[in-house]
């Protein structure tokens, strides 16, 4: 894939003007990630709906421009050099509103999970309480089968829709999405360039007050145990088989361990936080040293849960 050179930028600018698609140039990625880290994206386009997105994807494929998709940016660590290509942002306004029919809730990919949980609660539908407080958006949550407090997306996901590189829409039932711990088929090479645009969740009738009580309880537990007052990307490492990453890191005496502006949280050792001016390199060096020590002292291989761009 080619980088976004001057000629490519001019073609992209003309295309976006003609299609009425908002585009930002040299947009700081640290403004779009929960880690508050990342250099500028050469271009960031903000499509309003699937029609604009499909045209944008086809254009990028024809021009051989590198593309990254962005939702709430809550599980991303972006290079300090930024991204020399096109970032496509699916924000909360993308492709309309959350809808509820009977016990099925359908949400566009850019909607935050908190908004989805609130909509389910308003409709007295139970099953998504575990996701309240997960800072991601629907698309990202499906992509990585996000989970917390004993629940995962796959427990309630009914189907997902995605656009392929040619802008064709595909409707796939949940059982064919290869969902497992922090994994989906969208991570496989054959789905490279695909963009999740919508997902549906099958829920159950419940009591609105009890649903709200459970969501409030989960949020208060998060606030009490997690360093929400600092920028982070949530749990930094995946849970290794037969152990817990935070416990292993803690037992190695690494709580509070710091490299530059990155630190293993003193509140929860499973979180790496940005104490103010952390760089991507700070985080990578810290996680490298943490992984090395855990491997040496505990024999476990820690794998990053955070997704690196590029």
Tokens in use for 25?
Answer: 């140039």
- Evaluate whether residue 130 is within a structural domain: yes
CA dist 5 and 106 (Å) reads 39
Angstrom CA distances, 199 to 73, 188, 249, stand at 18, 19, 35
Are both 85 and 46 inside the same structural domain?
yes
Half-sphere exposure of 147 (CA within 13 A, CB side): 18
Q: Decide if pLDDT at 185 tops 80.
A: yes
- Evaluate whether residue 285 is within a structural domain: yes
CA dist 86 and 237 (Å) reads 28
The closest of 159, 178, 179 to 169, measured between CA atoms, is: 159
Cite the active site residues: 182, 235, 305
Are both 117 and 157 inside the same structural domain?
yes
The pLDDT of residue 3: 79
Are both 120 and 190 inside the same structural domain?
yes
Are both 85 and 128 inside the same structural domain?
no
User: Considering 89, 123, 157, which residue would you say is the last residue of a domain?
Assistant: 89
pLDDT digits (tens, 9 = 90+) for 292-305: 999 999 999 999 99
Reduce the DSSP state of residue 195 to 3 states and report it.
strand
CATH number at residue 179: 3.30.465.10
CB 131 within 8 A of CB 144: no
Q: Which residues pair with 195 in a beta bridge?
A: 163
Percent of the chain with pLDDT over 70: 99
The closest of 132, 124, 131 to 103, measured between CA atoms, is: 124
For residue 27, the tally of other CB atoms under 10 A from its CB is 21
Q: Decide if pLDDT at 2 tops 90.
A: no
Question: What is the number of domains present in the chain?
Answer: 3
Are both 190 and 103 inside the same structural domain?
yes
Domain hosting residue 127, numbered range = 99-212
- Evaluate whether residue 204 is within a structural domain: yes
- Evaluate whether residue 284 is within a structural domain: yes
Are both 171 and 275 inside the same structural domain?
no
Are both 119 and 158 inside the same structural domain?
yes
Verify cis geometry, omega within 30 degrees of 0, for the bond prior to 310. yes
- Evaluate whether residue 51 is within a structural domain: yes
Tokens in use for 229?
Answer: 């007052």
Tokens in use for 175?
Answer: 């059982």
User: Considering 89, 114, 135, which residue would you say is the last residue of a domain?
Assistant: 89
Are both 166 and 242 inside the same structural domain?
no
At 1, is the pLDDT very low, low, confident or very high (cuts 50, 70, 90)?
low
- Evaluate whether residue 181 is within a structural domain: yes
Reduce the DSSP state of residue 141 to 3 states and report it.
helix
pLDDT digits (tens, 9 = 90+) for 145-180: 999 999 999 999 999 999 999 999 999 999 999 999
CATH number at residue 281: 3.90.78.10
Are both 205 and 112 inside the same structural domain?
yes
CA dist 242 and 83 (Å) reads 37
Exposure b/e, 260-299, CB count within 10 A at least 16 = b: bbbbbbeebbbbbbbeeebbbebbbebbeebbebbeeebe
Are both 157 and 234 inside the same structural domain?
no
The closest of 181, 282, 303 to 232, measured between CA atoms, is: 282
CATH number at residue 20: 3.30.43.10
- Evaluate whether residue 218 is within a structural domain: no
Are both 134 and 31 inside the same structural domain?
no
Largest CA distance in the chain: 59
CA dist 270 and 58 (Å) reads 40
CB 40 within 8 A of CB 26: yes
pLDDT digits (tens, 9 = 90+) for 261-290: 999 999 999 999 999 999 999 999 999 999
- Evaluate whether residue 220 is within a structural domain: no
Identify the DSSP state of 204: E
Mean pLDDT for 4-32 is: 96
Residues listed for the chain: 310
Are both 133 and 206 inside the same structural domain?
yes
The pLDDT of residue 179: 98
């Amino acid at each position: 894939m080619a980088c976004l050179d001057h000629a490519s930028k001019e073609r992209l600018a003309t295309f976006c003007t003609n299609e009425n698609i908002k585009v930002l140039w040299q947009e700081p990625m640290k403004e779009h990630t929960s880690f508050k880290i990342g250099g500028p994206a050469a271009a960031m386009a903000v499509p309003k709906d699937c029609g604009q997105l499909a045209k944008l994807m086809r254009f990028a494929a024809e021009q051989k421009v590198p593309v990254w998709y962005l939702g709430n940016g809550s599980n991303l660590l972006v290079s300090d050099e930024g991204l020399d290509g096109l970032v496509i942002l699916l924000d909360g306004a993308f492709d309309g509103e959350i809808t509820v029919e009977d016990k099925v809730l359908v949400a566009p990919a850019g909607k935050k999970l908190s908004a989805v949980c609130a909509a389910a609660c308003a409709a007295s539908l139970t099953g998504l309480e575990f996701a309240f407080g997960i800072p991601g958006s629907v698309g990202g949550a499906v992509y990585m089968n996000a989970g917390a407090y004993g629940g995962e997306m796959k427990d309630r996901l009914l189907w997902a829709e995605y656009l392929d590189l040619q802008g064709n829409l595909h409707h796939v039932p949940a059982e064919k999405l290869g969902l497992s711990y922090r994994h989906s088929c969208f991570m496989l090479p054959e789905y490279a360039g695909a963009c999740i645009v919508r997902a549906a969740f099958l829920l159950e009738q419940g009591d609105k007050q009890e649903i709200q009580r459970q969501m409030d309880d989960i949020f208060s537990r998060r606030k009490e145990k997690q360093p929400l007052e600092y920028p982070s990307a949530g749990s930094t490492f995946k849970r290794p088989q037969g152990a817990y990453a935070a416990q292993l890191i803690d037992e190695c005496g690494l709580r509070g361990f710091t490299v530059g502006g990155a630190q293993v949280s003193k509140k929860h050792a499973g979180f790496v936080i940005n104490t103010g001016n952390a760089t991507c390199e700070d985080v990578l060096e810290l996680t490298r040293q943490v992984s090395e020590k855990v491997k040496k002292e505990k024999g476990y291989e820690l794998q990053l849960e955070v997704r690196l761009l590029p």
